[in-house]
Amino acid sequence: MIQKRKASSIVAGRKRESGKKKLTKYHTKLDKKMKSSSQAYLKRQAKDIYVKMAVEQGFRSRAAYKLVHLNGEYNLLKPGMSIVDLGCAPGSWLEVIEKELGKNCTVIGMDKIAIEPVGDYNFIQGDFTEEETFNQVVDLCPKGVDLVLSDMAPETTGHRETDHIRSMMLANIAVDFAYKALKPGGNFVAKFFQGGEEQEMRNELRKHFDKVQFTKPESSRRESKEMFIICFGYKGKKD
Ligand SMILES: C[S@@+](CC[C@H](N)C(=O)[O-])C[C@H]1O[C@@H](n2cnc3c(N)ncnc32)[C@H](O)[C@@H]1O
């Protein structure tokens, strides 16, 4: 909230006669104190329609709209289903699920960061790259689940190849989890940063799902390398 107020101050500069924006006193102060990457982030946030919508509609983050758009396009969320949401913090995808399905579903959220609970959905805190956390979530799905979502993302370094490789590692762990936890017919969605290795992941997933495709929801920033792989109709347990 505080961040958003700061952000709108930044774009509230007055126009000079030359047409250039005059910096407010506050803006100048920010300029001096903040790294240019932080300023760029705040400026982007202030202009971003999905940040504004998230505040107005009471979602914890703009990430909510990625699931809203994926669901709008692919009809992923259905009453009565069981869902695992990997990398769920701060919880806006869980909020979208709650808005769509309310109590008419079973949900397990997982993240290494703690979250404020969403409804009475389950939450596991842990690092999913660690076997203990992975197995803990598997153990909570003894009957299998209908949908595995992964919005897990590494902290970005700005180095394209590094970010790609780290995101693919998380996506591939989500794939291993999906093979263990999905019911036949179940669906899987995972985020990654584009870079090349995703083709191999798609080829592998095509062996185990009826339909596999890449998708970038409207709310995913155009300049971001972020992409989602979406898989329909799990063919059944992989050995
Ligand atoms: C883009 S955020 C997810 C936003 C979320 N979908 C929402 O709507 O609120 C990515 C999340 O992945 C989590 N994450 C990254 N690596 C992880 C790991 N190894 N284990 C668990 N969570 C991880 C981060 O902590 C972060 O909360």
**pLDDT score of 237:** 75
- Ligand 1 is surrounded, with C-beta below 6 A, by 60-61, 63-64, 87-93, 111-113, 127-129, 151-154, 170
pLDDT in tens, 142-161: 999 999 999 999 999 989 99
Contact criterion met (CB below 8 Å) for 43 and 7: yes
Indicate the domain borders of the chain: 2-47, 64-234
**pLDDT score of 238:** 59
**pLDDT score of 15:** 32
Atom of ligand 1 nearest to the CA of 191: 1
Mean pLDDT of the region 164-171: 98
How many CA atoms lie less than 13 Å away from 129 in the CB half-sphere?
A: 9
pLDDT in tens, 90-134: 999 999 999 999 999 999 999 999 999 999 999 999 999 999 999
166 CA → ligand 1 middle, Å: 13
Mutate to test the pocket of ligand 1, among 84, 88, 118, 165 (most ligand atoms within 8 A of CB): 88
89 CA → ligand 1 middle, Å: 6
Which CATH number does the domain 64-234 belong to among 2.40.50.140, 3.40.50.300, 1.20.1050.10, 3.40.50.150?
3.40.50.150
Q: Which residues of 52-85 are buried (b: 16+ CB within 10 A; e: fewer)?
A: eebeeeebbbbbbbbbbbbbeeeebbeeebbbbb
Q: What is the pTM of this model?
A: 0.84
* Residue in 122, 26, 60 with CA at minimum distance from that of residue 10: 26
Q: Whose CA is nearest to atom 13 of ligand 1?
A: 87
Per the document, the length of the chain is 239
Instruction: Lowest mean pLDDT of 8-17, 97-106, 174-183, name the range.
Output: 8-17
How many CA atoms lie less than 13 Å away from 187 in the CB half-sphere?
A: 19
Active centre residues (catalytic):
191
Give Cα separations from 36 to 28, 30, 32, 75, 208 (angstroms).
12, 10, 9, 40, 45
143 CA → ligand 1 middle, Å: 25
**pLDDT score of 106:** 97
